[in-house]
Amino acid sequence: MGTTPAALATFLALERLHLDETKTDLLINAGTCGGFQAMGAAIGDVYLTTAVANHDRRIPIPSFTEYGIGKISSLQVDNLSKELGAKKGICTTGNSLDAHELDHFHMNQNEASVKDMEAAAIAWSCELHKTPHFGLKVVTDIVDGDKPTQEEFMENLGTAAKSLQEALPIAIEFICGKGHDEL
């Protein structure tokens, strides 16, 4: 949970595959997320990320601000989104499960549909290894709703995990044998 272990685990996994001379074509970040109802997200929705960015790395020094946000494009997978009946949107990442006022401001700035605690870090490690990525994320809770995240998260985690377990094999089967431009 959180960006440092996510970045490290991703980097080491890709490095290891590279050592074995296995070319990694694509990394899928499969997991759960919070959703923004203002952007049309509902609990149980499956989202495919179009990009990722950080909302809790505020560095108000010119040239560092953009680095802090660290926006990275995901592989665009429009055909997969049709196959899965999945929504598409930007995932904003932060190291806290909750979100205060300033977090909300920066999550809005990132134009996020969903929020998690790892995606931007995973994408950063993918970029270091020149490996395309996208996130396949299921919504457990509503970030801009009135329920405390931790309650809603625990309530819906089981259902979301089941939905993820269904979507992921379909996605893998659809992807295998296709070029990136067919996804």
Three-state secondary-structure class, residue 161: helix
Residue 77 Cβ, how far from a second copy at the closest point, in Å?
Answer: 25
Number of other CB atoms surrounding residue 180 within 10 Å: 12
Question: What DSSP line would sit under 37-104, residue for residue?
Answer: GGGT--TT-EEEEEEEEESS----STTTHHHHH--EEPPP-HHHHHHHT-EEEEEEE-S-SS--HHHH
Amino acid at 11: F
Residue 121 Cβ, how far from a second copy at the closest point, in Å?
Answer: 5
Window contacting a second copy (CB under 8 A); options: 20-28, 81-89, 142-150, 158-166? 142-150
Q: Judged by CB under 8 A, does residue 140 bind a second copy? A: no
Instruction: State how far the Cα of 23 lies from the Cα of 65, in Å rounded to an integer.
Output: 33
Residues 101-130, interacting with a second copy (CB under 8 A): 101-102, 121, 124-125
Residue 14 Cβ, how far from a second copy at the closest point, in Å?
Answer: 12
* Contact map string, positions 162 to 181, toward a second copy, x by CB under 8 A: --------------------
Q: Judged by CB under 8 A, does residue 134 bind a second copy? A: no
Q: Judged by CB under 8 A, does residue 161 bind a second copy? A: no
- Which residues, at least 6 apart from 128, have a Cβ–Cβ distance to it below 8 Å? 11
Instruction: State how far the Cα of 19 lies from the Cα of 177, in Å rounded to an integer.
Output: 23
Q: Judged by CB under 8 A, does residue 73 bind a second copy? A: no
Residue 71 Cβ, how far from a second copy at the closest point, in Å?
Answer: 15
Q: Judged by CB under 8 A, does residue 59 bind a second copy? A: yes
Q: Are 98 and 34 in contact (CB under 8 A)?
A: no
Structure tokens at 59: 């560095």
Instruction: State how far the Cα of 16 lies from the Cα of 126, in Å rounded to an integer.
Output: 13
Q: Judged by CB under 8 A, does residue 1 bind a second copy? A: yes
Residue 105 Cβ, how far from a second copy at the closest point, in Å?
Answer: 10
Q: By CB under 8 A, how many residues form the interface with a second copy?
A: 32
- By CB under 8 A, name the binding residues for a second copy: 1-4, 7-8, 11, 54, 56-61, 64, 67-68, 95-98, 100-102, 121, 124-125, 148-150, 153-154
